[in-house]
Structure 1
Amino acid sequence: MNKLPLQKRVMILNMLVEGMSMRSISRTVGVSINTVTKLLVEAGDACAAYHDETVRDVKSTKVQCDEIWSFCYAKAKNVQTAKAAPEGAGDVWTWTALDADSKMILSYEVGDRSAATAIEFMDDLRARLANRVHLTTDGHKAYLEAVEGAFGADIDFAQLVKMYGDTGHKTPERKYSPGVCTGARKVRIEGNPDISAVSTSHVERQNLSMRMGMRRFTRLTNGFSKKIENHLHMLSLYFVHYNFVRIHKTLKMSPAMAAGVSDTLHDMEWIVSLIDARAPKLGRRGSYKKRNSN
Structure 2
Amino acid sequence: MNSLLHTSGSARRTSTEGLLSGRTAVVTGASRGIGRAIAIRFAAEGANVAMIARTQEAHPELPGTIHAAAAEAEAAGGDVLPLVADVRDDKALADAVDQIVERFGGIDILVNNAGSVDLTVAEQIGMHRYDHMQAVNVRAPFLLSKLALPHLRASARAGRNPHILTLSPPLNMNPEHIGNGVAYTVSKYGVSIATIGLAHEFREYGIAVNSLWPRTKIDTAAVRNLLGGAAAVAASRSPLICADAALMIVTSPASAYTGQLLLDEDVLASHGCTDLDGYRVVPGTGALANDLFIDA
TM-score bucket of the superposed structures, by smaller chain: 0.3 to 0.5
The structure, 1 or 2, with the larger RCO (C-alpha pairs under 8 Å, 6+ apart) is 1
Indicate the structure with greater strand content.
1
Pair member with larger Rg: 1
Task: Please report the TM-score for the alignment, with normalisation by the length of structure 2.
Answer: 0.33
